[in-house]
């Protein structure tokens, strides 16, 4: 059989294109902001992870420009060899301090961060227990580690304990969970996870990609939100969301971070973060530390939208993060709704099977601290009118 036969047979994207409802790869003609030019027309952006609105911040942009002028466009090598700049180490010190951890290590992307941490920490004689709704990068990392993977039902602490109680106590155990779940916008039950980890001698890792800049008094994320910064062994962060850049990091005990630094293949054999990415992340972190009000602004605008959508009878799921899923249930209807919303001036993200169970599709909307109430009223009115139009078309 031809290796490429699966490629020739794949027709999902082709069928969506033929129906005129293909929702992916829309082209931006401007930078990320609350309103963008997308395919040459004004579009309200409700599909970005730019939670603090810092991608268009002049200070962040200027920091990136200055870094390129000083260090050039890239590092031309691995951190392990010639690719470590003084600003890499400065960012690691700053992020470790912000997360109240002893040390930190940076990776070139968020996806690579999970691959690099988990594949180094866990091995064939270890067990990983993870939430079923964990990010795809965690699943791929578990495969790369060769550890035995068990999954517990989403945020189901009874099921987590059932899984923990079945593990041979001679095995090393890692409990890994998203802090904030990227599709549903809900938060993990970290207090109970920590309690169970202590009971069963397990370690805890939190992927807080959607928690940094979103939760906690300082915006330090899920562990700060619960007051459990000292109880989480490994915190994973990305820089591509609240910190308006690209890359990621691991923060934890000095010995653990140093072990990953010298044993993680995705870290050792990848080129380091480019200077501009490092500088932008550092400046964004500096602005977050100086302006924690941004975190409150983000929560206030998300709460305003949740209330407004309910008042407009838009079918949303409960969430606590600035991620508000709209129930659409059927995959094809989700594509149609996203197309209509885009035509009407609002960009949102379709989430269909297998990312969610069949019949449980959603439109994922996400919010930014710089969104304004008048702009959100405009967006919500468009969403309500669009769904009313689609409802009438179904009749």
Quote the pLDDT of residue 353.
Answer: 85
pTM for the complete prediction? Answer: 0.95
Contact 155, 166 (CB under 8 A): no
Whether domain 58-290 has CATH 3.40.640.10:
yes
The pLDDT value recorded for residue 154 is: 97
Residues 6 or more apart whose CB falls under 8 angstroms from that of 69 comprise none
Mean pLDDT on 353-372: 93
Q: Is 184 left (phi over 0), alpha (psi -120 to 50) or beta?
A: alpha
**Which residues are catalytically annotated?**
182, 210, 241
* pLDDT given for residue 109 in this prediction: 97
CA dist., res. 156 & res. 193, Å (int): 10
What mean pLDDT do residues 158-162 have?
98
What is the per-residue pLDDT for 392?
Answer: 78
Q: What is the pLDDT of residue 238?
A: 98
- Please tell me the predicted confidence (pLDDT) of residue 394: 66
Q: Quick check: do 8-45+292-394 and 58-290 share a fold?
A: no
> Please, which pLDDT band fits residue 319 given cuts at 50, 70 and 90?
very high
Whether residue 165 is predicted with pLDDT greater than 90 in this model: the reply is: yes
In this prediction, residue 357 carries a pLDDT of 86
CATH number of the domain at 8-45+292-394, out of 1.10.10.10, 2.60.450.10, 1.10.357.10, 3.90.1150.10? Answer: 3.90.1150.10
For the chain, the structural domain boundaries read 8-45+292-394, 58-290
pLDDT at 225: 98
Q: Is residue 395 scored above 60 in pLDDT?
A: no
Residue 320 · residue 129 · CB < 8 Å: no
**Taking the alpha carbons of 8, 12, 15, 21 in that order, is the dihedral positive or negative?**
negative
pLDDT one-digit tens code per residue, 228-285: 999 999 999 999 999 999 999 999 999 999 999 999 999 999 999 999 999 999 999 9
Percent of the residues in the chain that have a pLDDT greater than 70, as a whole number = 99
Other beta carbons within 10 angstroms of residue 102's beta carbon come to 15
């Amino acid at each position: 059989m031809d290796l490429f036969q699966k490629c020739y047979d794949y027709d999902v994207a082709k069928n969506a294109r033929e129906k005129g409802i293909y929702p992916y790869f829309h082209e931006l003609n401007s930078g990320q902001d609350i309103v963008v030019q997308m395919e040459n027309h004004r579009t309200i952006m409700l599909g970005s992870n730019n939670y603090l609105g810092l991608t268009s911040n002049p200070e962040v942009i200027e920091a990136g420009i200055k870094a390129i002028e000083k260090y050039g466009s890239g590092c031309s090598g691995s951190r392990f060899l010639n690719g470590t700049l003084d600003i890499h180490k400065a960012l690691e010190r700053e992020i470790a301090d912000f997360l109240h951890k002893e040390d930190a290590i940076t990776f070139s992307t968020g996806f690579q961060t999970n691959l690099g941490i988990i594949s180094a920490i866990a091995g064939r004689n270890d067990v990983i227990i993870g939430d079923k709704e964990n990010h795809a990068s965690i699943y791929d990392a578990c495969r790369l580690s060769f550890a035995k993977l068990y999954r517990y039902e989403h945020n189901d602490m009874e099921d987590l304990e059932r899984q923990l109680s079945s593990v041979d106590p001679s095995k090393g155990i890692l409990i890994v969970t998203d802090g904030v779940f990227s599709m549903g916008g809900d938060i993990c039950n970290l207090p109970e996870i920590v309690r169970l980890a202590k009971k069963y001698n397990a370690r805890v890792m939190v992927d807080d990609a959607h928690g940094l800049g979103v939760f906690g008094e300082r915006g330090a994320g899920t562990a700060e939100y619960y007051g459990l910064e000292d109880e989480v062994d490994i915190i994973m962060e990305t820089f591509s969301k609240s910190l308006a850049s690209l890359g990621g990091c691991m923060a934890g005990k000095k010995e653990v971070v140093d072990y990953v630094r010298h044993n993680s293949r995705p870290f050792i054999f990848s080129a380091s973060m480019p200077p501009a990415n490092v500088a932008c992340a550092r400046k964004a972190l500096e602005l977050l530390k100086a302006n924690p009000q941004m975190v409150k602004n983000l929560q206030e605008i998300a709460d305003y939208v949740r209330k407004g959508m309910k008042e407009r009878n838009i079918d949303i799921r409960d969430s606590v993060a600035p991620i508000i899923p709209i129930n659409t249930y059927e995959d094809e209807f989700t594509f149609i709704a996203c197309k209509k919303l885009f035509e009407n001036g609002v960009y949102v993200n379709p989430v269909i099977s297998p990312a969610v169970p069949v019949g449980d599709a959603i439109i994922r909307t996400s919010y930014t601290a710089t969104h304004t109430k008048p702009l959100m009223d405009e967006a919500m009115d468009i969403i309500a009118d669009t769904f009313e139009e689609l409802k009438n078309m179904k009749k």
